Structure formats: structure tokens, C-alpha cells
């Protein structure tokens, strides 16, 4: 059973892991700069999911059967919906930072206060969706049904999986080069490494923090599109809860604060839980994911690649 | 160092949250909607909420709906709450001398959220009886408190068999339980598919586990050798799909709720698995059909609920009041409310009096004859099979014998 499904599990894991990785980047970026675990990031992701969903609705798609639209039209619609989702999630992340975290920072609040605020903000956003949209998932809108494109060792690879894996990698490369190669990115790294010195050198810390949240939100919005393409039933108020926890685990697994770690962690987690559920049964999926996390942290407490957004290594 | 400790603490919080969410699964049973074929008509002698119009009761007399209104699988609860409300409104209109108030309490649908709202209803002395709770898990959680308070409650949809084995004197079930539905579903699948193999997939709720057990037992270990597990709120089912592909069964029985059933069947069909899909009452809801986006077509749904489309007076009134046809268990809830209202009309003006009235009740409802055994199970428990036809759930056939 496990061996038969090995390649299918690997491919599924890579595609789902790419979504984890994109969300994990948001956790890792914020942690790298502020040493804050932004638990509300999962709700930023949900805002992205609803942004994508409402764009579908606004484009005239109705829940129910898969619409019959030519491929070019589908791609254009998906890109548009993804862009809306990214912008909404990005803006929401910046607003969240302004409303929830900046006032605390101004008052030099202890770190625990940030954590509690993050959890509180997460609940607030979640309940806003629950009250306004109810607790049933939004009706399914699926633009692109999965179809096998080719096979790897007998395991079918679908068009969705190809799109998701490639697009996620591309976004990762863009984010990574933004942080490592641009002037603004240098500011981000400088603040992560030593906020006081960076400020003395003329880096605007508040602006760097804003950019960090914006970038994390944009990536979460992109993840939201891929998620909704994979799981069309995903537009629901608590849809980000488990995924957010997994993405956070992925960030810690790879080394929180480390962009490449988030990517690696996401992919490993996605693959591992697919192997796990194949080996031990579906209800062991989450157990396997977290046992892996605990196991890695035991031997490498800073994660597989270490914490290093601020260090020279990145 | 500080960073590292902090990240580790975060991971711990995350893991704890995950464990908690895992435990918070709901249990109970489900809802839906129907049309066509062999649906029974309204029985001539059915007792209706209006009664004889001569009801007399104290002002302020109340009955309550306790169940999910906005929580997990809320569509099921809303269909029950609406039908209860409809019954109370019809009663009040016909009985000027007895104006009953309906109290609605949102249980959240899970065992850990149901206790508080239920206690609030218990503390409201004007409430003489309850329609609810809809789900098995929450019913189990609040049963002892309701029993201690002597507050009669008729569930229109909780089907876990264990609920009537707790010695509670106040719990009455308005439909057949899973010990009836499970074997009936198994028998029907045997007749329909003459299977060598059936995959029984269950979620982690009291409802899903109990039902899967009943079905597996009835099918026998040979036929039901393929057993799958999913979790509440799971949305990605590649492992289960792989398992089904390996086993290549003649049918799939899914014991759980529609929230997970819709993505599950969509992912099965996407992967090219065309095996017939059979699911119980917890999946029998329009949400299942809508959220599966076409993939649900041809699925079979078993339910100890009776098709409602033949009860035209009821379905029309419901449609008029709520702008939607009645859903699964609406008629059962309507019957349950009717029995409580009958009791109040006939002078049961206290909790013990209404409890005694229900205990010795013997009358025809819309859905079936209502008469309870001492443990709170009905004597008459029909089970029906429904079918997804396009974007509608239609009646297929009663399961006989």
C-alpha cells in the first residue's frame, strides 16, 4: 500500500506542501523581524480565501457545476482572483499590524502581550467571518477540474499540481530575491539582525515592519488561491485554523526566521504527512506531522536550516 | 536563546490547539431535502400542532429548541428550529387560549459548547419541554443535566444508539437510531450491489464511529475489510482516495457528516473512482450536493427520516414561512413539537406532567406512529433511501423488513 502509493503521495505532498510553504513564509518573515509569532496570519490567509472566492462570484461564476470556459479565460480569471486575494490579504496584514501590534510596540509591551493579541486578533477575524457568512462552507466554485497531465512512475500528476508547485516556487524565488537582493530587503534583514543599529543607519523600522507584513500577506493571498483550487470547499470561517498551525509548524521545522527553511519545512511537512497517513491511516496524518516536528526540534532545536533571516548566512 | 524558547513555546501552543480541536468533534446525526417517488402522504389521523383549538394554558408557558443555529453543521439545526417554530406558530394561531412561547438556544452543535446554553434553558422555569438536541455528542453531554431537571426532551435527529442506555427518564428519540439505520443500510447495499467488498469510511464523531460499527457488523468482516478514517474538518483526502483505489470495492459507505463528505466525494470522483457512494442522514443535506459541485450526483443516502414531499400542507407552510423547502428532520421536529404542544393543551402545566404525557403518548404523527418504549426508543422506526439526482435529493425507496 505504502510503496504502491509512494509517488502519488510524494506528488500530493509537494503540491499541498507548497501551500504550507507560502503561508509559512508569512510566519517566518514576521518572526524574523519582530520575534513575534503572528497567530493571526492564518486568518490573513482566510481573508485571502474569501477574497478569491468573492472575485469568482463577482466574475459571474455560480456555485455548483464546473463552468465551461475556454482555458485562456480560466487562467485570466484565476490570475485576477489571485491578484485580488493577494492584495486583500496584504492590505489586511498591514491593517492588522497597525491596529493590533503597533500600539503595543509603542508602549514597549512585553512579548507575551503580542502573542495574546495575535491569538485575540485571530479569533476576532474568524468570528467576523462566522457571523457574516455563517458556519457552512461557501458553495463550491471550481474553475479548473484536475486532470492528469503526465505520470511519474505511474503516479498521475494533475494540471492543478503542476500549476501550484511551479507558481509557488516562482513566488518563493521572488520573495527570496526581494529579501536578499533589493535595497528594501536589505533593510528588512538589517532590522531583523539588529533593530537599534539599523535605525541608527537610517533604516525606517516602521516601514520595514509594514513591508514585512505586506509581503507575508501577499504570499498568503497567493496560497489562498492555490488552496481554493485544490479544495473548493475551503471558503469557511475556520478554514485557516489547521492549515495555519501546520504552516507555522513548517516554519519552525525549517528554522523559523529563515525563508528557505519555510519552503523546505513546508514541502517536507506536506510529504511527511502524506507518507504518514498512507502508512498508519488517515487519522494519523496530523500526529505524524507533529511527531516529525518534535523529533527534528529535539536534535536541531533551531530547525533544519537554523534561524537566520538576520544572520549573514541568508 | 530567547527566540528559540519562544518558538518552542509556540509550537507547543499549536500542538495543544490541534489536540483540542481534534477532541471537539461533534456527534449526532443529520438533515436534508427531497422530492418524487414513493413518499407517503399525510396520514389521515395525524395529530397536528393546531390540535382542537380548545387549548388552555398559563401565559408565558414555553417550549425550547436547543441545538446548533450557527455552529458546526448548522444547516441541520436550522431546519429543525424552523419546523419547531412553525409548529408553535400554527398552534398559537389556532388556540387563542394557549399562547406558547418558543425559546431558541444555540448549542453550537458540539459537546463542549452545548452544556452552557442547555443549563440556561433548564434554569428558565417557564420551559416545560425541549425539541432537541439534534446531534448525538451534544445530547450525550447534556443528558444528565436534563434528566436531573426532569425536563422532557425529544430529539428529532440524534441517532447514536447509546443515548437510550444511560437510564435517563427524560430522553425520547423521535426516529430510528443507528442500530436500526446501520443494519438497514447494510442490508440495502447487499441487495443493491451484491458486494464482495465495501469500503466503510468513518469520521471521528460519536455518530460516525457508532454507525460505521453497526454497518461493518451487519456486512461482516469479509465484505467490510476496507476500513477508512477521516477527521472532522479534514479537507484533503488523498490517502482515503488511494485506499479506495487499492481496495476497488463495489460500494463506499461513508459514516459522517456532509462537511467532510462533499470534498471527499469530489476528490474521489476527480481521481476517477466511480464506485457508488452511500452515506447516512448526516450527509443528507443540500449542502452536500452544492459543495460537491456535481460530484454528488448518483450518491445514495440512507435516513431514518420519512420523505416529506407527501405532507403537502406542511411543506407548503414551511416553504411559505422560510422560503425554502423543509430539510432533513424538519418533519420529525414538527412532530416532536406537536407532541409537546398537545401535552400543554391537554393541561400538562409542569415539567413532571409534560414528561408523563410524553411517556404515555400514543398517536400518529406526520412521519410515523409515536409511542415510546420505556427506554425512550420508538416502537416504529422506518428507514428510507434517498438518491442525489442532478442537484436535488429525491426519495429512492423505503428499506423494508
Place of cell 492584495: A87
For residue B378, what are the β-bridge partners?
B372
Find residues 3-62 of chain A whose CB sits inside 8 Å of chain B: 4-5, 8-9, 12, 16, 31, 35, 37
Highest mean pLDDT, choosing among A133-142, A153-162, B150-159: B150-159
Q: Give the torsion sign (CA, A286, A292, A297, A298).
A: positive
pLDDT one-digit tens code per residue, A174-210? 999 999 999 999 999 999 888 899 999 999 999 999 9
pLDDT at A85 (0 to 100)? 96
Q: Is the distance from CB of A259 to CB of A185 less than 8 angstroms?
A: no
Grid cell for residue B159: 441517532
Q: Verify whether the Cβ–Cβ distance A140 to B231 is below 8 Å.
A: no
Domain spanning B62-176+307-381, CATH class: alpha beta
Grid cell for residue B401: 423488513
Find residues 97-116 of chain A whose CB sits inside 8 Å of chain B: 111, 115
Q: Verify whether the Cβ–Cβ distance A283 to B270 is below 8 Å.
A: no
Q: Verify whether the Cβ–Cβ distance A282 to B8 is below 8 Å.
A: no
Q: What is the CATH number of domain A6-134+154-299?
A: 1.10.3470
How would residue A309 be classed by pLDDT, with cut points 50, 70 and 90?
Answer: low
Rounded to whole angstroms, the Cα distance separating A176 from A173 reads 5
Residue of B nearest to A278 (CA): B239
Q: Verify whether the Cβ–Cβ distance B290 to A64 is below 8 Å.
A: yes
Rounded to whole angstroms, the Cα distance separating B23 from B6 reads 26
Q: Verify whether the Cβ–Cβ distance A283 to B231 is below 8 Å.
A: yes
Rounded to whole angstroms, the Cα distance separating A169 from B271 reads 25
Find residues 247-266 of chain A whose CB sits inside 8 Å of chain B: 248-249, 252, 256-257
The dihedral over CA atoms of B146, B151, B157, B159, expressed in degrees to the nearest 10, equals 50
pLDDT at A281 (0 to 100)? 76
| Angle at B67 (CA atoms; ends B66, B73), nearest 5 degrees | 170
Find residues 265-294 of chain A whose CB sits inside 8 Å of chain B: 274, 277-278, 281-283, 285-286, 290, 293-294
pLDDT at B276 (0 to 100)? 95
pLDDT one-digit tens code per residue, B25-77? 443 333 444 434 567 888 888 899 998 888 889 999 999 999 999 866 788 89
Q: Give the torsion sign (CA, A71, A77, A82, A85).
A: negative
What mean pLDDT value characterizes chain B?
Answer: 87
ipTM score: 0.81
**Residue in A115, A135, A290 nearest the CB of B72:** A135
Q: Determine the 3-state secondary structure of B395 from DSSP.
A: strand
Angle between helices A285-299 and A259-280 (to 10 degrees): 130
Neighbouring CB atoms inside 10 A of A33's CB total 26
Residue-range domain boundaries for chain A:
6-134+154-299
Rounded to whole angstroms, the Cα distance separating A230 from A11 reads 13
Type and span of the H or E element at B241:
helix B238-247
pLDDT one-digit tens code per residue, B282-303? 899 888 998 888 899 999 999 9
Q: Is the distance from CB of B290 to CB of A65 less than 8 angstroms?
A: no
Rounded to whole angstroms, the Cα distance separating B392 from B95 reads 37
Rounded to whole angstroms, the Cα distance separating B134 from B122 reads 17
Q: How far does A64 lie from chain B, in Å, by closest CA?
A: 4
pLDDT one-digit tens code per residue, B315-325? 999 999 999 99
- Say if residue B220's pLDDT is above 60: yes
Mean local confidence (pLDDT), A123-130: 93
Could you tell me which residues come within 8 angstroms of residue B5 by beta carbon, excluding any fewer than 6 positions away? none
Q: Verify whether the Cβ–Cβ distance B243 to A16 is below 8 Å.
A: no
**Residue in A31, A66, A297 nearest the CB of B294:** A66
Grid cell for residue A101: 501590534
How would residue B386 be classed by pLDDT, with cut points 50, 70 and 90?
Answer: very high
Neighbouring CB atoms inside 10 A of B340's CB total 29
With beta carbons under 8 A apart, name residues in chain B contacting A131: 70
Cα A202 to its chain centre, rounded Å, is: 31
- Say if residue A313's pLDDT is above 60: no
Alpha helices in B124-237 (DSSP H): 136-149, 178-193, 206-219
With beta carbons under 8 A apart, name residues in chain A contacting B4: 301-302, 307
Rounded to whole angstroms, the Cα distance separating B53 from B56 reads 9
Cα A78 to its chain centre, rounded Å, is: 18
Rounded to whole angstroms, the Cα distance separating B99 from B95 reads 7
Rounded to whole angstroms, the Cα distance separating B134 from B82 reads 13
Mean local confidence (pLDDT), A131-147: 86
How would residue B199 be classed by pLDDT, with cut points 50, 70 and 90?
Answer: very high
- Say if residue B24's pLDDT is above 90: no
- Say if residue A156's pLDDT is above 90: no
Decide: residue A169, CB within 10 A, 0-12 exposed, 13-18 middle, 19+ buried.
middle
pLDDT one-digit tens code per residue, A204-259? 999 999 999 999 999 999 999 999 999 998 899 988 998 999 999 999 999 988 89
Helix (H), strand (E), coil (C) string for chain A: CCCCCHHHHHHHHHHHHHHHHHHHHHHHHHHHHHCCCCCCHHHHHHHHHHHHHHHHHHCCCCCCCCCCCCHHHHHHHHHHHHHHHHHHHHHHHHHHHHHHHHHHHHCCCCHHHHHHHHHHHHHHHHHHHHHHHCCCCCCCCCCCCCCEEEEECCEEEEHHHHHHHHHHHHHHHHHHHHHHHCHHHHHHHHHHHCHHHHHHCCCCHHHHHHHHHHHHHHHHHHHHHHHHHHCHHHCCCCCCHHHHHHHHHHHHHHCCCCHHHHHHHHHHHHHHHHHHHHHHCHHHHHHHHHHHHHHHHHHCCCCCCCCCCCCCCC
Q: What is the CATH number of domain B179-303?
A: 3.40.50.2300
pLDDT at A312 (0 to 100)? 40
Q: How far does B247 lie from chain A, in Å, by closest CA?
A: 10
How would residue A43 be classed by pLDDT, with cut points 50, 70 and 90?
Answer: very high
Cβ-Cβ pairs closer than 8 A, A with B, add up to: 139
Mean local confidence (pLDDT), A32-61: 93
pLDDT one-digit tens code per residue, B238-250? 889 988 998 999 9
A142 in contact with B at a CB cutoff of 8 Å? yes
Residue of A nearest to B267 (CA): A231
Could you tell me which residues come within 8 angstroms of residue B137 by beta carbon, excluding any fewer than 6 positions away? B25, B26, B27, B28, B110, B111, B160, B205, B206, B207
Choose the mutation target among A53, A136, A239 for the interface with B, i.e. most B CBs under 10 Å. Answer: A136
Rounded to whole angstroms, the Cα distance separating B160 from B279 reads 16
Q: How far does B294 lie from chain A, in Å, by closest CA?
A: 5
With beta carbons under 8 A apart, name residues in chain A contacting B287: 136-137
With beta carbons under 8 A apart, name residues in chain A contacting B262: 137, 140, 233
CATH 3.40.50.2300 placement within chain B: 62-176+307-381, 179-303
- The verdict on whether omega for the bond into residue A53 sits within 30 degrees of 0, i.e. cis, is no
Could you tell me which residues come within 8 angstroms of residue B83 by beta carbon, excluding any fewer than 6 positions away? B156, B318, B326, B329, B330, B331, B332, B333, B334, B337
pLDDT one-digit tens code per residue, B97-117? 999 999 999 998 889 899 999
Find residues 201-220 of chain A whose CB sits inside 8 Å of chain B: none
Amino acid at each position: 500500500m505504502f510503496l504502491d502509493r509512494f509517488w502519488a503521495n510524494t506528488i500530493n505532498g509537494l503540491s499541498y506542501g507548497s501551500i504550507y510553504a507560502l503561508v509559512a513564509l508569512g510566519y517566518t518573515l514576521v518572526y524574523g523581524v519582530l520575534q513575534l509569532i503572528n497567530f493571526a496570519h492564518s486568518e490573513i490567509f482566510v481573508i485571502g480565501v474569501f477574497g478569491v472566492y468573492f472575485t469568482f462570484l463577482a466574475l459571474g461564476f455560480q456555485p455548483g457545476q464546473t463552468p465551461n470556459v475556454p482555458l485562456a479565460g480560466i487562467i485570466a480569471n484565476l490570475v485576477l482572483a489571485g491578484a485580488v486575494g493577494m492584495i486583500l490579504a496584504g492590505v489586511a496584514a498591514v491593517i492588522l499590524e497597525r491596529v493590533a501590534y503597533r500600539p503595543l510596540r509603542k508602549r514597549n509591551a512585553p512579548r507575551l502581550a503580542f502573542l495574546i493579541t495575535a491569538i485575540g486578533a485571530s479569533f476576532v477575524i474568524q468570528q467576523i467571518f462566522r457571523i457574516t457568512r455563517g458556519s457552512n462552507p461557501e458553495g463550491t466554485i471550481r474553475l479548473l477540474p484536475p486532470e492528469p497531465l503526465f505520470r511519474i512512475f505511474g503516479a498521475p500528476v494533475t494540471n492543478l499540481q503542476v500549476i501550484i508547485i511551479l507558481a509557488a516556487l516562482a513566488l518563493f524565488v521572488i520573495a527570496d530575491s526581494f529579501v536578499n537582493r533589493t535595497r528594501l530587503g536589505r533593510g528588512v534583514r538589517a532590522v531583523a539582525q539588529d533593530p537599534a543599529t539599523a535605525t541608527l543607519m537610517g533604516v525606517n523600522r516602521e516601514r520595514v515592519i509594514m513591508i514585512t507584513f505586506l509581503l507575508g500577506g501577499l504570499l498568503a493571498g497567493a496560497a489562498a488561491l492555490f488552496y481554493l483550487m485544490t479544495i473548493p470547499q475551503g471558503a469557511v470561517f475556520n478554514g485557516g485554523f489547521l492549515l495555519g498551525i501546520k504552516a507555522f509548524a513548517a516554519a519552525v521545522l525549517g528554522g523559523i526566521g529563515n525563508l528557505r527553511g519555510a519552503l523546505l519545512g513546508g514541502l517536507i511537512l506536506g510529504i511527511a504527512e502524506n507518507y504518514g497517513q498512507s502508512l498508519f491511516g488517515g487519522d494519523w496524518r496530523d500526529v505524524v506531522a507533529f511527531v516529525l516536528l518534535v523529533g527534528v526540534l529535539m536534535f536541531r532545536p533551531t530547525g533544519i536550516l537554523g534561524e537566520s533571516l538576520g544572520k549573514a548566512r541568508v | 536563546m530567547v527566540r528559540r524558547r519562544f518558538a518552542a513555546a509556540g509550537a507547543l501552543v499549536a500542538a495543544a490547539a490541534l489536540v483540542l480541536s481534534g477532541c471537539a468533534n461533534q456527534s449526532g446525526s443529520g438533515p436534508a431535502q427531497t422530492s418524487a417517488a414513493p413518499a407517503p402522504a399525510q396520514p389521515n389521523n395525524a395529530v397536528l400542532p393546531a390540535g382542537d383549538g380548545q387549548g388552555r394554558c398559563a401565559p408565558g408557558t414555553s417550549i425550547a429548541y436547543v441545538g446548533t443555529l450557527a455552529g458546526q453543521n448548522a444547516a441541520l439545526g436550522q431546519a429543525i428550529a424552523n419546523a419547531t417554530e412553525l409548529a408553535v406558530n400554527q398552534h398559537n394561531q389556532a388556540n387563542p387560549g394557549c399562547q406558547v412561547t418558543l425559546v431558541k438556544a444555540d448549542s453550537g452543535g458540539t459537546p463542549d459548547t452545548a452544556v452552557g446554553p442547555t443549563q440556561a434553558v433548564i434554569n428558565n422555569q417557564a420551559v416545560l419541554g425541549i425539541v432537541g438536541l439534534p446531534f448525538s455528542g451534544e445530547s450525550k453531554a447534556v443528558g444528565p443535566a436534563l434528566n436531573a431537571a426532569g425536563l422532557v426532551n425529544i430529539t428529532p435527529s440524534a441517532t447514536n444508539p447509546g443515548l437510550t442506555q444511560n437510564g435517563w427518564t427524560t430522553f425520547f428519540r423521535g426516529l430510528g437510531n443507528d442500530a436500526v439505520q446501520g443494519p438497514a443500510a447494510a442490508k440495502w447495499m447487499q441487495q443493491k450491489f451484491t458486494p464482495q467488498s465495501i469500503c466503510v469510511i468513518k469520521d471521528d464523531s460519536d455518530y460516525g464511529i457508532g454507525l460505521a460499527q453497526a454497518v461493518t457488523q451487519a456486512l461482516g468482516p469479509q465484505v467490510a475489510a476496507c476500513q477508512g478514517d477521516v477527521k472532522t474538518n479534514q479537507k484533503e483526502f488523498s490517502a482515503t482516495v488511494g485506499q479506495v483505489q487499492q481496495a476497488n470495492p463495489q460500494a463506499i459507505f461513508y459514516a459522517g457528516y456532509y462537511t467532510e463528505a462533499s470534498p471527499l466525494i469530489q476528490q474521489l470522483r476527480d481521481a476517477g473512482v466511480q464506485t457508488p457512494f452511500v452515506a447516512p442522514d448526516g450527509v443528507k443535506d443540500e449542502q452536500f450536493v452544492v459543495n460537491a459541485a456535481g460530484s454528488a450526483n448518483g450518491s445514495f443516502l440512507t435516513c431514518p427520516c420519512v420523505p416529506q414531499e407527501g405532507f403537502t400542507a406542511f411543506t407548503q407552510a414551511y416553504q411559505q414561512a422560510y422560503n425554502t423547502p423543509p430539510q432533513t428532520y424538519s418533519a420529525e421536529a414538527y412532530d416532536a413539537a406537536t407532541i409537546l404542544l398537545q401535552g400543554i393543551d391537554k393541561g400538562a402545566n409542569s415539567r413532571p406532567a409534560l414528561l408523563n404525557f410524553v411517556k404515555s403518548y400514543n398517536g400518529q404523527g406526520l412521519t410515523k406512529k409515536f409511542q415510546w418504549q420505556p427506554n425512550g426508543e420508538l416502537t416504529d422506526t422506518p428507514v428510507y433511501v434517498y438518491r442525489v439526482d442532478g442537484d436535488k435529493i429525491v426519495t429512492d425507496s423505503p428499506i423494508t423488513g
